[in-house]
Structure 1
Amino acid sequence: MRFFHTFAVAAVAAGLCGLPAKAETTLRIAMTASDIPTTTGMPNNGFEGMRFLGYPIFEGLVLWDLAHTDRVADLRPGLAEKWEQAPDDNKTWIFHLRQGVKFHDGTDFNADAVIWNLDRYFKNDSPQYELPGSAITRARAPLLASYKKIDDATVAITTTKPASYFPYMAVYILFTSPASFAKAGNDWTKVATLPAAGTGPFRITRVAPRQEVDLARWDGYWDPNKKARLDNVVLMPIPEANTRLAALRSGQVDWIEVPPPDGIASLKASSFTITTGSYPHVWPWFYNMGAAGSPFKDVRVRQALNYCVDRAALVELLNGTAEPSAGWLKASDPNFGTPQNRYTFDAAKGKKLLAEAGFTPDKPLAFKAMISTSGSGQMSPLPMNEFIQQNLKESCGVDVTFDVVEWQILLNAGRATPDSPNLKGAMVINVSSPSSDVGVMARYFSSANFSPNGFNFEQWKDDEFDNALTTLAEANDPAIISSALRKAHERLVDNPPWLYIVHDLNPRAMSPKVKGFVSPQSWFIDLTLVSMQ
């Protein structure tokens, strides 16, 4: 009798009595990164790190709305229910915190946790100061000047100058449980493998450096409408495109970032899902204008290269997974403006500008470019850069050599000073960039954000641009903001700090078992919408 009873209970539990057990669902994703992004709550490896090991686990006061495909992603309330500028000070923002939120370790998210994390990033002598996370966060929120707790549910953050776009910077400040740091003996390297606790819809369950990170649905998530449909997610770094392709075909993974362009047709023929979509992103070369002896101090040289590149041929090489770029924004964007230059493939004009700047067939322009083997938003960097190298040589007689490095090394180079030994003499770096909002524009191009303190690697300064940025930062009238934004972008085109090459279309390849994925107009994605059949 005991045996029969035990068997019957087991049969019910296993679904043998007409109630089938629900199998756990696991989604396996191959990233382009060469290693797993850091797991302390402020991931490295660029925005791919934020995409997979940032927002799904660790959240900000402000979050992205990633549920739509028909418009560029905007902001939504996150760990703050609302925010506003202080009525008596347009440099101070008041954030009203969401109540009842718990970290994955069961501790409370509150104003003390906010201040503790801000000290982690912005207070060099705090016990919890984390240098790598601080460098990333300060570069993404360079205007943050001070902060204070008003009460348990309210904090104030003050910027160095008025900035109507500051919430677009606050979205990149993520929060980790202070208890994670204490549990690790006040050692961030140990926090990374605990794993660390956030507040997001997924929690980290296992970290295997250079191999994978395992996530599980967080059933205690504060938003009942955004609880994950997947039980588990496995994130694997596979930097080589053809290796990712093989992993998808063999069933090792269910989803790959950036399939190789020449493999897309065969994937479609084999019933794999290919997703693409326009999103705010540009794949450029950054000119090192500040280096001693840089040829890019001359605007004619910077403009010339923008006329020398055959973008349409590159798009064809990429099997249509990108579109030509003529500026930081897409030409179809209403804020593109009406610049004097409209960059198309015009080798004659490019050569004329180079000759005016002193570069002729007898004295050709020659320089080194630092590029990566893979990385977040880097698309297919080696064949793309080899195409541009050959294109520039054939169209305008320009000689380009490459220094090929790992993605994180290239990111670090982007925060170097112009003559830093880390650049090894490079006059160009190839780092893909978001173009999602004015906050990003300010980070990359304001003269107040020269490297190493900000993302203005080129150390580009344009007074008309800075004046337009100040106007829109201080304005509340949408018409004034839009007019100033158009003016600012016109300067980015006519006085280009970058060689604008393509805007990519965010290609991914997935098993047909993957359901519910939304490709938003953003670098980031909402994994809570995804399920497995």
Structure 2
Amino acid sequence: MTRRNRAALAAMALGAFASPAQAESLLRIAMTATDIPTTTGMPNNGFEGLRFLGYPIFEGLVSWDLTRADRPATLRPGLADHWEQAADDKRTWLFHLRDGVAFHDGTPFDADAVVWNLDRYFKADAPQYEVAAAGITRTRVPIIDRYRKVDDRTVAITTTIPASYFPYMMVYLLMTAPSSFEKGGRTWAGTAMLPAAGTGPFRITRVSPREAVDLARFDGYWDAGRRAKLDRIRLMPIPEANARIAALRSGQVDWIEVPAADAIPSLKSAGFTVTTGSYPHVWPWFYNIGAKDSPFRDVRVRQALNYCVDRDSIVSFLNGTAEPAIGWLKPDDPGFGAPANRYGFDPEKGRSLLAAAGYGPKKPLAFPVMISTSGSGQMLPLPMNEFLQENLKQSCGVEVSFNVVEWQVLLNATRALPDAPSLSGAMALNVSSPTSDAGVMARYFSSDRFPPSGFNFPNWRDETFDAALQRLSESTDPAVIAEATRTAHARLVDDPPWLYVVHDRNPRAMSPRVKGFVSAQSWFLDLSLVSVP
């Protein structure tokens, strides 16, 4: 299909929804997703799903503070107004719920609703158990052991290990009204099309798969200071970057995620607002270390590729909308540590390491990589991966082939076993990652988080890393946590489970009519701040 045809199809999809009366303020957003994220309260499509069909509608006991752009996003109270570790058990956390909160349908939010939602995610024999949502949630919050209602306004949650970072995991457990499940015929497919009720500043009003979802301001929102300024939001999946740009230029949308890098100067010249900003993100390849006969069982091969990549040229190719990545964290992050390896573009060193591992002109390193056409945090995956393919070939004689799949298929692959048929022999996956906190580090790299119980797709194990992670998990002393983080991250560099490529700078393009947007240092954003005159 040509780019022109894709743009035409996008325009047809947009046209399927008639514009509301001019008196209403409407913000139209083009997402990178290939389909509408699921609408039951635990959206798929990665963090883009959470960004647009999670947090604006459904909330957790703990939330992100997305009101500032001058620092990494921090936590704030959500549906719980405070929480603490139990005095007699570091594994147990007490969450104290807000008074006066109701779901969009008027039913009360209380401890019973929290336990009902936790059963939905973690109790396989519960009537409301949602298989797809449970699969997403269990990998993001893999350490919940048990939970109970203490009283109507208090819930106790016990983890399998002491975890100082547990509040950061709680942002991923969103609450849906139990009444929605009943109204949906006690099926999640039925609930998705109601649509479901949450507690957030917006409510879902209409769902049209593969076309659009409409949101409306919820005037009964519990936080009067954060009530939305917009009347309505329309969310549309437009996976191709050039189709999104065409929709923005023609006035069919007001906001696009991830504009094509080569279009940014002309968009600025035409008066569109283009925002960028650092945020906790890395765009890597996950090595498949666990596969039979994987070349990445040898640490020298994993290090070699990190020396073979010309990151500065990729940043230039992306018009400055990225930063070079030489580890999971950024080099200036306090937790980066002091690894022995400082990856830069050094093809000679890369080739030397490959030669020591048995690869060279007569036996080139060759392997397939599974990549996506688009997706949450995936930046511009097709041109970026083609750039990497040529870069590795020219610099170090590495031959890379691609298996191109849709974003959700690729996400599912991260939970596959190393030799699963669904991987089609892939020796690496290109999936971007958040780097916001130690809880994310734990679920991606801890040796007890191999799939399907976590995101450690490489099946990577490092004793020094595990010991450091345990120290930071069990401690409440900031100095101990900081030291352990530095030690753990140094191992992620010196014994790399991933090929680190770039950190995204989160580009968006929007009409100058869009006001109040804050480019938070986060994967997420606060749509309640935005207005369209």
Q: TM-score range by the shorter chain?
A: over 0.9
Q: Secondary structure at the match of 1:337?
A: coil
Q: Secondary structure at the match of 1:484?
A: helix
Aligned to 1:492: 492
Aligned to 1:174: 174
Aligned to 1:248: 248
Aligned to 1:384: 384
Q: How does 1:444-523 map to 2 (within 5 A)?
A: 444-523=444-523
Aligned to 2:296: 296
Q: Distance in 1 between matches of 2:467 and 2:224?
A: 44
Q: How does 1:257-406 map to 2 (within 5 A)?
A: 257-406=257-406
Q: Distance in 1 between matches of 2:186 and 2:142?
A: 26
1:222 equivalenced with 2:222 (yes/no): yes
Q: Distance in 2 between matches of 1:299 and 1:389?
A: 21
Q: Distance in 2 between matches of 1:526 and 1:27?
A: 14
Displacement after TM superposition at 1:379 (Å): 0.5
Q: Distance in 2 between matches of 1:120 and 1:284?
A: 32
- Which amino acid in 2 is paired with 1:363? K
Aligned to 2:51: 51
Q: Distance in 1 between matches of 2:446 and 2:219?
A: 42
Aligned to 1:16: none
- Which amino acid in 1 is paired with 2:241? A
Cα deviation digits, residues 92-123 of structure 1 (max 9, x gap): 00000011100001000000000000000000
1:196 equivalenced with 2:196 (yes/no): yes
Q: Secondary structure at the match of 2:172?
A: coil
Q: Distance in 1 between matches of 2:359 and 2:83?
A: 53
Q: Secondary structure at the match of 2:73?
A: coil
Q: Secondary structure at the match of 1:210?
A: coil
Q: Distance in 2 between matches of 1:361 and 1:98?
A: 65
- Which amino acid in 2 is paired with 1:453? S
Aligned to 2:79: 79
- Which amino acid in 2 is paired with 1:517? F
Q: How does 1:4-15 map to 2 (within 5 A)?
A: none
- Which amino acid in 2 is paired with 1:342? R
Q: Secondary structure at the match of 1:30?
A: strand
Aligned to 2:6: none
Q: Distance in 2 between matches of 1:295 and 1:167?
A: 38
Q: Distance in 1 between matches of 2:420 and 2:365?
A: 22
Cα deviation digits, residues 215-270 of structure 1 (max 9, x gap): 00000001000000000000000000000000000000000000000100000000
TM normalised by structure 1 equals 0.96
- Which amino acid in 1 is paired with 2:83? W
- Which amino acid in 2 is paired with 1:159? T
Q: Secondary structure at the match of 1:305?
A: helix
1:408 equivalenced with 2:408 (yes/no): yes
Q: Which sections of structure 2, spanning at least 5 residues, go unmatched?
A: 1-20
Q: Distance in 2 between matches of 1:22 and 1:34?
A: 29
1:155 equivalenced with 2:117 (yes/no): no
Which structure has the larger Rg over C-alpha atoms?
A: 1
- Which amino acid in 1 is paired with 2:356? E
Q: Distance in 2 between matches of 1:389 and 1:168?
A: 36
Aligned to 1:10: none
Q: Secondary structure at the match of 1:168?
A: helix
Q: Distance in 2 between matches of 1:158 and 1:113?
A: 18
Displacement after TM superposition at 1:183 (Å): 0.3
Cα deviation digits, residues 190-211 of structure 1 (max 9, x gap): 1111000000000000000000
Q: Distance in 1 between matches of 2:85 and 2:95?
A: 9
Displacement after TM superposition at 1:23 (Å): 2.0
Q: Secondary structure at the match of 1:449?
A: coil
- Which amino acid in 2 is paired with 1:491? R
Q: Secondary structure at the match of 1:245?
A: helix
Q: Distance in 2 between matches of 1:399 and 1:22?
A: 55
Displacement after TM superposition at 1:430 (Å): 0.1
Cα deviation digits, residues 103-146 of structure 1 (max 9, x gap): 00100000000000000000000000000000000100000110
Q: Secondary structure at the match of 2:404?
A: strand
Q: Give structure 1 regions of 4+ aligned residues with deviation exceeding 4 angstroms.
A: none
Q: Distance in 2 between matches of 1:72 and 1:294?
A: 37
- Which amino acid in 1 is paired with 2:125? D
- The count of residues paired between Structure 1 and Structure 2 equals 513
Q: Distance in 2 between matches of 1:81 and 1:45?
A: 29
- Which amino acid in 2 is paired with 1:324? P
Q: Secondary structure at the match of 1:113?
A: helix
Q: Distance in 1 between matches of 2:149 and 2:309?
A: 52
Q: Distance in 1 between matches of 2:347 and 2:285?
A: 18
Q: Distance in 2 between matches of 1:84 and 1:22?
A: 48
Q: Distance in 1 between matches of 2:57 and 2:303?
A: 42
Q: Distance in 1 between matches of 2:149 and 2:22?
A: 45
Q: Secondary structure at the match of 2:233?
A: strand
Q: Distance in 2 between matches of 1:135 and 1:401?
A: 29
| % same residue | 71
Displacement after TM superposition at 1:22 (Å): 8.9
1:42 equivalenced with 2:42 (yes/no): yes
Change (3 A) 1:179 1:354: same
Aligned to 1:68: 68
Q: Secondary structure at the match of 2:448?
A: helix
Cα deviation digits, residues 321-373 of structure 1 (max 9, x gap): 00100000000111111100000000000000000001111001000000000
Aligned to 1:421: 421
Q: Distance in 2 between matches of 1:103 and 1:334?
A: 40
